[in-house]
Amino acid sequence: MSIAEPAMVTTPAPPSTQVPREALSGFFLGYPEFVVLRNHDVWGNFARKGDLDLLVADAAAAGRKLVEAAGAPLWRCRRSYVEGYFYPWGHIDFLQRLEWRGAIFLDAGKVLREAVREGEFARPRLAHEAMVSWFTSLLFGGFFKARYRDVILQAAATDGEELRSCLAWAFGNAWGERLWQWAREGRPEESARHVASLRRAVWRRSLSRDVAGTLVRYAQFWAREIKLRACPPAPMVAVMGPDGSGKSSVLRIAEEELGKTLHQLKLYHWYPRFFRFAQLQRGPVLDPHGRLPRGSFISVAKLLFMAMDWNLSYWLRLTHLRAKNTVIIFDRYYLDLVVDPMRYRFRGPKWLVKLIGKLILKPDVCILLDAPAEVLQARKQEVTAEESIRQREAYRQIVGNMKNGIIIDAARPLPEVVSAFNGVILQPWRS
């Protein structure tokens, strides 16, 4: 039996990961109303694959200017307090307000007005820098970031009156004075023991200044977080292919290379598991058809459990990861069960497999690593030649008919296949 050789989908080459310094310099000159927060060595920070936080007067306008200068990002993440733009060469956040869940802890207008220009970029005055460094991690993450301890101590020593005033403005006189004393005494990390109280204090102060505005921002925060989970910005990708198509090798190298570019990356095998007892014991599958299929009743029961486990894990874990800009990649996916039920020892009705498939969350793109059967057999003989032909035909038929299906020629040398794979991943998604 032989099948026709349809043309492979042409995949784009991976975009450059080199920082477009000239384009960014044009953006910085064309939109000068910004202050660099924390990491002030902008070009060195990009070289280290660090994030760049810019306080701006208008986040939407700044984003438009950035896209005009540097092109479309891989994706953008819009939260109520920040707009993030993710590129292969780096990640830029535009902050219009300095808040925690609607509660303002530092006046952004004052930070912009009193910024200090040292060299190419403007930076906050020292007291304001200390406030951002200290309380961004404390309020959002619940921890004290030790790398900013020296900034806080320096601000207490050289810009103490402003720091003391900002602390009182943000947290009230009682907590403001206590925080000031800790900073002056060289122990700001003491604040990590009082995160809950400090969060309540910053909320009370924000409400006392602007009840309506604080409540509106709070509602906007949750509305945006819900929307991010309903439609996450970071893509979810499924990688499939017959035995011998090179999935493991491609993903191993791609994970290393993409990890240098993407904000965060997480790989799963077949499907995400919510229940601990359902976790896979990892290891090579040397004889995928070696075990007898389960009985019909057990097959159906395991399929229903898997569907429940899959969706619980997605909605309770993966949506959070994707909303936090983590790219999810699956080595195999539910469609593998459709193509090769014997691998999963399934002996139930095919109509149920198709029905359950409608309940499984669909990836943004399904990538098929495809190669002729003789190439598959030369790499692996874990299934018969006839089975390699059958699997290849089934995968090509399914993925070829999908709107988000992409077929990559996996018969080429491994570096070329990895480059084609990375080219698919590193393309603008939801922007």
Q: Are strands 365-370 and 236-240 parallel, antiparallel or unpaired?
A: parallel
Beta-strand ranges (E) seen in 226-359 are: 236-240, 264-269, 326-331
User: pTM for the complete prediction?
Assistant: 0.87
Residues 6+ positions from 368 with CB-CB distance below 8 Å = 240, 241, 395, 396, 399, 405, 406, 407, 408
Strand order in the sheet with 82-87: 34-37, 51-56, 90-95, 82-87, 75-78
Q: What is the CATH code for 234-425?
A: 3.40.50.300
Residue closest to 52 by CA, chosen among 74, 29, 100, 19: 19
The whole-angstrom separation of Cα 50 and Cα 347 is 50
The whole-angstrom separation of Cα 281 and Cα 104 is 47
Residue carrying the six token digits 């919510």:
274
Residue carrying the six token digits 């020629």:
409
Would you write out the chain's pLDDT as a tens digit for each of its 431 residues? 344 444 455 566 777 888 999 999 999 988 888 999 998 889 988 888 888 999 999 999 999 999 999 999 999 999 999 999 999 999 999 999 999 999 999 999 999 999 998 778 999 999 999 999 999 999 999 999 999 999 999 999 999 999 999 999 999 999 999 999 999 999 999 999 999 999 999 999 999 999 999 999 999 999 999 999 999 999 999 999 999 999 999 999 999 989 888 878 999 988 888 887 766 555 566 678 888 889 999 999 999 999 999 999 999 999 999 999 999 999 999 999 999 999 999 999 999 999 999 999 889 999 999 999 999 999 988 889 999 999 999 999 999 999 999 999 999 999 999 999 999 998 886 55
**Domain residues of the chain, as ranges?**
21-229, 234-425
The answer to whether 240 and 405 have CB atoms below 8 angstroms apart is no
